[in-house]
Amino acid sequence: CNFSLICNQATIKLPSCKIFFSHDPIKIVRARGQYMYDEKGQRYLDCINNVAHVGHSHPDVVRAGAQQMELLNTNSRFLHDNLVLYAQRLQATLPDKLSVCYFVNSGSEANDLALRLAWQYTGHKDVITLNNAYHGHVSSLIDISPYKFHQLSDAEQNQFVHVAPSPDVYRGKYRADHPDPATAYADDVKDIINKAHEKGGKIAAFIAESLQSCGGQVIPPSGYFQKVAEHVRQAGGVFIADEVQVGFGRVGTHFWAFQLQGEDFVPDIVTMGKPIGNGHPMSCVVTTREVAEAFMSSGMEYFNTFGGNPVSCAIGLAVLDVIEKEDLQGNALRVGSYLTELLEKQREKHPLVGDIRWINTEKHRHKTENYNMHAPRSIYILKEQHILLSADGPHRNVLKFKPPLCFTKEDADLVVEKIDRILTGTTLDSEENGHQHHNGLLHGRESGGQVLQTKCLKT
């Protein structure tokens, strides 16, 4: 936990920040690949760590960081090759239009800068965000994160912020039986714009994770982003794609999750974070030349002490190298598909499982809403069996897989076998108890995992 109270005699943890398995936390002392080890040497399979993207303590990444630290680590007031090389490599993964990089230190710094770029470029102030969204912990981002500001007892929504429905076709406003959920959800955004205009507001930006993570692993229907972008740009605003949790090859078929919407969709601003440095504090904002020039013309220079330093750039380059060299995007696709198949079988076998969401599966046959609130407890049972998994979503009934990309089919077999046993126990127990799932072992319909895709630790 990054929050620690030191009294004179003792160190006490205050629960401002939740740690994993807080009733019985684990003390991890080392990690390698997809495995973590506690102080007794016990090995855990890590299914919850999308920060250690290419595997914990990957030797190539560690070496790149150590060598550059030994040579030079200074702020970016000097020229340095690493910065240019890294910006070029990142740009090569993106559409040509996205050509200007700003290097910062965290996903929060990236999203805050994205807002500043949008405000300056458009001259507008209003921001549209999705329900259940989480975009970061600095004050400007709490304002646009319903996932956070709904936690406040005296929540007071910023007058410049508008919340659109989450484009969730399983549990949302328009579902799989709707003839055109993409248009319907995008029209809701258009309505919000019109209402803002009536009140004299002007839209600076629409911001969304390319796949909503903390919001419950929501995959927007195909074409939704294109239609939203059209409405938002017509109002003079920009489209910000938040790839902090879902980028860098995790979706398997593409390097960036926004690319799932098709080649005809290009955001105006893309933000990156978590996996970018395999744990090293760094992040990036990429935008168009037009937006960057407008920002520059404000007369206020942008400077970030640590952003783009030679060590961060060396580490970022090493991460890109490893993804390519070890074909980790391909592995995400192969193992992700395999895990999805295994979980689909679980869904067919166990009525408690409602939906399996991965990029290439669109099965929403079950709409049963009789989930229960006990998914969080099942992760404790898995932990006893040395599997680290987490639960998230507005109802905390979504089990999320977001392991390092070196996860294997054998790892998938192992974790699904354990889940099967828990589900079987739950089902038996449920039947014994007249279908009351009160044993707290497992989540209900609509649980299930989003495979190798996204992660959020903020439950």
| Nearer of residues 79 and 179 to a second copy, judged by Cβ | 79
Order across the sheet with 390-392: list the strands.
Answer: 390-392, 398-400, 449-450
Length of the chain: 459
Min separation Cβ 440 and a second copy, Å: 22
| Nearer of residues 100 and 186 to a second copy, judged by Cβ | 100
Min separation Cβ 145 and a second copy, Å: 10
Q: Which two tokens stand for residue 93?
A: 């993964």
Region of 236 (left: φ > 0; alpha: ψ -120 to 50; beta: rest) is: left
Pairing of strands 269-272, 238-242: parallel
Min separation Cβ 115 and a second copy, Å: 6
Say how many C-beta atoms besides its own lie within 10 A of residue 128's C-beta.
Answer: 25
Per-residue DSSP letter, 343? H
| Nearer of residues 29 and 428 to a second copy, judged by Cβ | 29
Min separation Cβ 157 and a second copy, Å: 14
Region of 14 (left: φ > 0; alpha: ψ -120 to 50; beta: rest) is: beta
| Nearer of residues 189 and 389 to a second copy, judged by Cβ | 389
Q: Which two tokens stand for residue 147?
A: 């996932």
- Distance in angstroms (rounded) separating the CA atoms of residues 114 and 137: 14
| Nearer of residues 4 and 194 to a second copy, judged by Cβ | 4
Min separation Cβ 212 and a second copy, Å: 17
Min separation Cβ 268 and a second copy, Å: 15
Radius of gyration for the alpha carbons in the chain, expressed in angstroms and rounded: 22
Per-residue DSSP letter, 106? S
| Nearer of residues 281 and 351 to a second copy, judged by Cβ | 281
Min separation Cβ 283 and a second copy, Å: 9
Per-residue DSSP letter, 315? H
Q: Which two tokens stand for residue 276?
A: 């970018």
Contact between residue 30 and residue 20 where contact means Cβ atoms under 8 Å apart: no
Paired with 391 in beta bridges are 399
For 414, the enclosing helix (H) or strand (E) is helix 409-432
Q: Which residue from 219, 214, 150 is spatially nearest to 393, judged by alpha carbons?
A: 214
Min separation Cβ 75 and a second copy, Å: 6
| Nearer of residues 80 and 445 to a second copy, judged by Cβ | 80
| Nearer of residues 163 and 292 to a second copy, judged by Cβ | 292
